[in-house]
Structure 1
Amino acid sequence: MSDKISVMIVDDNGLLRVGLKDIISDEGDMTTVAEAATGEEAVGLYSECHPDVVTMDYRMPDLDGLEASKRILSQFPDAKILFLSTYEGEEDIWNAWQTGVAGYLSKADAYEHIIEAIREAAEGRSYFPAAIARKLEARKGQASLTPRELEVLKLIVAGNSNKEIMGELDLSASTVRVHVSNVLEKLGVLDRTQAAIAAVKRGIVHL
């Protein structure tokens, strides 16, 4: 029986998977046991090989990393999942953290941290680099949008007027005004333009 840390790499970018596998293979205490290019594939493979640690991409076809992680953790609560993502907004990090993942790395500097992160996760510890941790702490102090407010915000980002939002969501004018007001207040902004910018910057809405 091997004492090496077993790792499953999940990413739709084949070159990135190769790069991570090469880095992992250079370490004497860990090995790659599986690779997946989609979230659905990741869920199925996890149940087959039960790796010690999973490196998970956020954005993938058919099932994103967030939903794949939720499914894995619902079946295997002790799963250790590390997110590697180009998404670095507060909301992206917050959503991943709330699922119970072991860590979150930006792909921009993932290669600098990945080996240490894998070892920490395998030992049952979390790994959030300083820049990521600061964003997570900042998000913890903010109010969350309701599902309806999120729908309204997405339409604001898409450039819809209140009248258009009324028609899209089948709401009254007064109800839309209340939702827009609540969105502005929760985001800490003064107008719709600032709300759209904040939504994209924080990772609440992806273009």
Structure 2
Amino acid sequence: MLAEEAPMESSGKAKKGNTMGKNTTVLIVDDNAMLRFGLAGAIGHEEGLEVVGEAASGADAYDLYAMLKPDVVTMDYKMPGEDGVECTRRIRADFPDARIILFSVFESEEDIWKAVKSGVKGYLTKNAGAVEDVMEAIHEVADGGTYFPALIAQKIEVRKQQEELTPRELEVLQLLGEGRSNKEILDHFDISLSTVKHHITNIREKLGAADRTQAVVIAYKRGILKVD
């Protein structure tokens, strides 16, 4: 989505909006300056859209949203510090009408599901999204709709049918992914062996795994566990 147009104001700065108030206003949030540059250029050429600000972090994004109240926010998923999901959750907690589209390199069910639960109105992958898709998503979300491409929507529906792991089960699963034994897990949490086995049984059942090894494989595939 890179373009050759002149960049917008530097990150964390607001641009004066359209005096007629007719354009859909957009706030761009991404820690990559070149991606902000390209997206701003593309939006600048789209009739009816106007970039009013750019931010390189979740903190700047929240502050600019509070000041500008843009019609749509394009939000990067992975940023240093507060990521896009956390920032979306925080903005929508204070501004429930916020319309946010998440842009991400992540395509796993779990990452998409976290975004949906945070309240995003659209989800596009940076690997697959064409400029036309981005513009369509912004217009659709600005009009009060949602924008989840077919593959993303399919993953959302699959994830809806799956039972949530509890916070403790997620912690145990993380240790399983590190190759920890039952003894190491019980020592880590200072719990009984029967409790460890109970957590592992629940994890296997919720993930549809035959054993602990398969549970770990499934967790990596779904994006519950990640390779550092």
The bucket for the TM-score relative to the shorter chain is: over 0.9
SS in 2 for 1:127: coil
1:15 maps to what in 2? Answer: 34
Task: Please state whether the residue corresponding to 2:130 is helix, strand or coil.
Answer: helix
The answer as to whether partners of 2:26 and 2:71 remain within 8 angstroms in 1 is: yes
Given that 2:86 and 2:118 are in contact with CA atoms closer than 8 Å, whether structure 1 keeps it comes out as no
Residues 149-172 of structure 1: CA deviation (Å, up to 9, x unaligned): 111111112222222111222221
Distance 1:205 1:14 in 2: 29
Asked whether 1:30 is paired with 2:27, we answer no
Alignment partner of 1:84 is 2:107: no
Shift, 1:193, TM fit: 2.3
Aligned partner of residue 20 in structure 1, secondary structure: helix
Identify, as 1 or 2, the structure richer in helix: 1
1:53 is aligned to 2:72:
yes
CA distance in 2, matches of 1:15, 1:195: 39
Amino acid in the other structure paired with 1:23:
A
* Partner SS, residue 48 of structure 1: helix
In the alignment, structure 1 residue 99 sits paired with structure 2 residue 118: yes
Alignment match, 1:136: 156
| Structure 2 partner of 1:189 | 209
What is the percent sequence identity of the aligned residues?
53
> 1:199: which partner in 2?
219
Counterpart contact for 2:31–2:55, Cα < 8 Å: yes
For the residues of structure 2 that align with 1:56 and 1:126, how far apart are their CA atoms? 15
1:154 pairs, out of 174, 182, 185, with: 174
**What CA distance in whole angstroms lies between the structure 1 residues aligned with 2:187 and 2:52?**
51
Equivalent residue, structure 2, for 1:120: 140
User: What is the alpha-carbon distance in structure 2 between the residues aligned to residue 170 and residue 41 of structure 1?
Assistant: 41
Question: Which secondary structure does the structure 2 equivalent of 1:110 belong to?
Answer: coil
How many residue pairs match? The answer is: 207
Give the letter for the 2:106 counterpart. Answer: Y
1:179 shift after superposition: 0.4
Amino acid at match of 2:66: S
What's the TM-score, normalizing by structure 2? 0.87
Counterpart Cα distance in 2 of 1:137 and 1:163: 37
Question: What whole-Å deviation, never above 9, does each CA across 1:156-195 have from its counterpart, x for those lacking one?
Answer: 1222222211122222111111101111110111122222
Counterparts of 1:69 and 1:5 in 2: how far apart (Å)? 19
Mapped to 1, the partners of 2:32 and 2:220 lie a distance apart of: 23
* Offset of residue 6 of structure 1: 0.8
Greater alpha carbon shift after TM alignment, 55-64 vs 118-127: 55-64
Aligned partner of 1:68 in structure 2 is 87
Structure number with greater Rg is 2
Change (3 A) 1:188 1:62: same
